[in-house]
């Protein structure tokens, strides 16, 4: 990576759980810039790429009206905030239109899946609202050979840190996305890469995985630097 520290935007899903993303961005050689909640093109000036963050143990799920036509937007669903989801999706659409590289984590991973036409499932052990289940926060994941995650891990097997009660569902796989990581236990989707956009998604939390997380974001930022000349 260049001696000049690139700027990486941080789209925060949970203001109480942003420090890990700020720290890992700095450890990976970049300067974090927290983006405002309201989409603002000027905030992307000079940004190499964006981390779309997840949520902490306080939890928040994507409102099902965004992927299930049988649910109305005004339906009261615990642990959801449809206005925050819609606001984030405006940002994600902007990233997609401008081809801004994105690393999406947890809730961010789910929102990108939905943006591309996918659906989600609920009731996954992990955390529900403000009651995290610490016994299920480490999961063995099988990675796709030659994926970025497998290259960083140096293996197709990776133990990951995760905290969620909602996740990407199959079928179908949204157009343009390739699943690159699945749980050894139940096949749950833990990672994807996009064939059409410079986007990488992880249901798990690399920023909570010392050493691996730094290497992962270093590898991403290197790729983003290479893509910069094409933007």
Domain containing 117 — which CATH number?
A: 3.40.50.880
pLDDT at 132: 41
Query: Do residues 164 and 205 touch, judged by C-beta distance below 8 A?
Result: no
Predicted confidence (pLDDT) per residue in 146-178, tens digit: 999 999 999 999 999 988 779 999 999 999 999
| Count of domains forming the chain | 1
pLDDT of residue 127 exceeding 70, the answer is no
Please state whether the predicted TM-score (pTM) of the whole model is above 0.75.
yes
Classify residue 143: in a domain, yes or no.
yes
pLDDT at 231: 61
Query: Do residues 61 and 10 touch, judged by C-beta distance below 8 A?
Result: no
Cα separation, 33 vs 227, in Å, equals: 20
Range name among 7-21, 55-69, 79-93 with the lowest pLDDT average: 55-69
Structural domain containing residue 85: 7-228
pLDDT of residue 62 exceeding 50, the answer is yes
Classify residue 95: in a domain, yes or no.
yes
The secondary element (H helix, E strand) that includes residue 132 is strand 131-132
Classify residue 148: in a domain, yes or no.
yes
Query: Do residues 160 and 184 touch, judged by C-beta distance below 8 A?
Result: no
Cα separation, 143 vs 46, in Å, equals: 33
Predicted confidence (pLDDT) per residue in 191-219, tens digit: 999 999 999 999 999 999 989 999 999 99
Classify residue 76: in a domain, yes or no.
yes
pLDDT of residue 11 exceeding 70, the answer is yes
pLDDT of residue 226 exceeding 60, the answer is yes
Classify residue 63: in a domain, yes or no.
yes
pLDDT at 57: 62
User: Which residues neighbour 152 within 8 Å (Cβ) at sequence distance 6 or greater?
Assistant: 212, 215, 216, 219
Range name among 95-109, 130-144, 148-162 with the lowest pLDDT average: 130-144
Classify residue 1: in a domain, yes or no.
no
Classify residue 2: in a domain, yes or no.
no
Classify residue 179: in a domain, yes or no.
yes
pLDDT at 134: 44
Cα separation, 58 vs 225, in Å, equals: 34
Beta bridge partners of 7: 31, 47
pLDDT at 13: 86
The rounded mean pLDDT for the chain is 90
């Amino acid at each position: 990576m260049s001696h000049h520290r690139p700027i990486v935007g941080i789209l925060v899903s949970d203001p109480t759980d942003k420090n890990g993303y700020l720290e890992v961005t700095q450890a990976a050689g970049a300067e974090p810039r927290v983006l405002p909640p309201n989409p603002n093109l000027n905030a992307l000036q000079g940004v190499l790429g964006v981390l779309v963050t997840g949520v902490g143990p306080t939890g928040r799920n994507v409102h099902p009206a965004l992927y299930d036509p049988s649910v109305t937007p005004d339906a009261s669903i615990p642990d959801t905030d449809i206005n925050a989801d819609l606001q984030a999706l405006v940002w994600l659409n902007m990233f997609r239109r401008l081809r801004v590289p994105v690393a999406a984590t947890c809730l961010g991973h789910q929102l990108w899946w939905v943006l591309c036409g996918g659906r989600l499932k609920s009731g996954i052990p992990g955390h529900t609202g403000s009651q995290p289940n610490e016994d299920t926060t480490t999961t063995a994941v099988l990675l796709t050979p030659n994926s970025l995650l497998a290259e960083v891990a140096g293996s197709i097997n990776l133990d990951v840190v995760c905290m969620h009660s909602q996740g990407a569902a199959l079928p179908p796989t949204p157009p343009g996305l390739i699943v690159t990581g699945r749980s050894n236990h139940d096949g749950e989707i833990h990672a994807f890469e996009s064939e059409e956009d410079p986007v990488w998604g992880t249901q798990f939390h690399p920023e909570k995985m010392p050493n691996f997380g730094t290497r992962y974001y270093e590898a991403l930022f290197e790729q983003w630097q290479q893509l910069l000349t094409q933007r």
